[in-house]
């Protein structure tokens, strides 16, 4: 086994930067979302205004960060990037707010992870571009009011449902990014093969696209590993269908695009919980994974493919799910 194929993680973010589209015209697919964003940008530019706050939600690796970084570039304004989980207190958010230049963008990834006190600190900043800072304690306590420059928050979340209502209401623009169709992923694979100075046949691009779970990040990572395999096994390094199929087999990605972890999830519910309903916590515990990673990385695609169902009493493997892992319902 070529070393490059060991420890494959299709969710690896290491190559995101080098393959990320820089301009809106390079963003593939998500046509309706991109069209609406283009209108938002044109109108904002025409008015000489600040873009309204924008919330992007969708599964991991689907283009939220890409859009969030393309937008300020299109507007010709500065962009700051903050990670929700790293903002544990208002003081962590403060420098971002005071540094935010006129009309600049502050991208907050995983915005559903902000603690309540940080969220509350952010509200007046988003609404009136001001913040209240508490100084001193007891009798000496006072609040000073700091005026900020008008700026735009772009929030990204994998769980729109976990966002508090007041937080959600602060976003005048909200866009949902869904899984990509195969032709769009093929286009992404072909473009990125070119960026990587590799050739890939159309048929092989289709093979990679079909097995990427509708997710560009996964398509990119599969492409990279397939390219390694092609380099080692073919004199001209071209990615043919034969090579792609072989590499996908080694990566243990099946016909539907399920990975080892996805099949393990189905097997766990079938073997340990009699096919369900099984609670998220219990499944996570049996698999030694966090419930968050199940909900973010594994379940959305299985739900979409109809391999599992979510019921009030827990997760159930559907007959299609049983058949997929070679079991009888």
Q: Is 109 a catalytic residue?
A: yes
- Among the listed residues 44, 50, 57, 64, the single catalytic one is 64
Q: Is 159 a catalytic residue?
A: no
Give me the catalytic one of 57, 109, 184, 262: 109
Q: Which residues have C-beta within 8 Å of that of residue 124, sequence separation ≥ 6?
A: 130, 131, 132
Does 320 participate in catalysis according to the annotation?
Answer: no
- Contacts of 39 by beta carbon, 8 Å cutoff, 6+ apart: none
CB-nearer residue toward ligand ADP: 50 or 215: 215
Nearer to ligand ADP, 55 or 156 (CB): 156
Active site residue 194: no
Instruction: Name which of 30 and 104 has its Cβ closer to ligand ADP.
Output: 30
DSSP of 268-320: HHHHHHTT--B-HHHHHHHHTS-HHHIIIIIHHHHHHTTSEEEETTEEEE-HH
Examine the residue annotation and report whether 64 is marked as an active-site residue of this protein: yes
Q: How many whole angstroms separate alpha carbon 125 and alpha carbon 106? A: 12
Smallest gap from Cβ 25 to ligand ADP, in A, equals: 11
For ligand ADP, the closer CB: 179 or 273: 179
Among 211, 217, 225, 227, the active-site one is 217
Q: How far is the CB of 63 from ligand ADP (least distance, A)?
A: 3
We find the least distance from the C-beta atom of residue 137 to ligand ADP, in angstroms, to be 40
| DSSP code, position 200 | B
Distances (CA, A) of 39 to 32, 67, 94: 11, 14, 31
Residues lying near ligand ADP in the complex (CB under 6 A): 16, 19-21, 27-30, 60-66, 156, 188, 216-217, 220
């Amino acid at each position: 086994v070529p070393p490059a194929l060991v420890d494959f993680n299709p969710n690896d973010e290491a190559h995101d930067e080098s393959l990320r589209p820089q301009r809106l015209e390079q963003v593939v697919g998500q046509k309706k979302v991109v069209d609406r964003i283009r209108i938002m940008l044109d109108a904002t530019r025409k008015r000489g205004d600040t873009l309204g706050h924008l919330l992007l939600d969708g599964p991991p690796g689907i283009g939220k960060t890409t859009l969030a970084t393309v937008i300020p570039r299109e507007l010709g304004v500065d962009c700051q990037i903050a990670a929700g989980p790293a903002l544990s207190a208002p003081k962590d958010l403060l420098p971002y707010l005071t540094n935010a230049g006129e009309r600049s963008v502050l991208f907050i990834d995983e915005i559903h992870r902000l603690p309540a006190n940080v969220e509350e600190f952010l509200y007046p900043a988003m609404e009136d571009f001001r913040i209240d800072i508490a100084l001193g304690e007891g009798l000496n306590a006072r609040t000073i009011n700091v005026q900020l420059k008008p700026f735009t928050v772009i929030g990204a979340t994998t769980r729109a449902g976990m966002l508090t209502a007041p937080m959600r209401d602060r976003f005048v623009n909200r866009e949902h990014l869904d899984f990509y169709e195969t032709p769009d992923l093929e286009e992404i694979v072909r473009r990125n093969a070119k960026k990587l100075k590799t050739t890939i046949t159309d048929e092989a691009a289709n093979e990679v696209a079909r097995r990427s779970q509708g997710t560009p990040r996964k398509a990119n990572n599969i492409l990279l590993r397939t390219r390694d395999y092609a380099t080692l096994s073919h004199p001209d390094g071209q990615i043919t269908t034969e090579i792609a199929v072989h590499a996908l087999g080694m990566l243990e990605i099946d016909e539907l695009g399920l990975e080892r972890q996805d099949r393990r999830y189905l097997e766990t519910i079938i073997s340990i919980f009699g096919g369900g309903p099984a609670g998220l916590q219990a499944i996570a515990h049996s698999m030694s994974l966090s419930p968050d990673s199940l909900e973010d990385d594994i379940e959305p695609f299985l739900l979409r493919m109809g391999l599992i169902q979510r019921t009030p009493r827990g997760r159930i493997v559907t007959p299609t799910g049983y058949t997929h892992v070679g079991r009888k319902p």
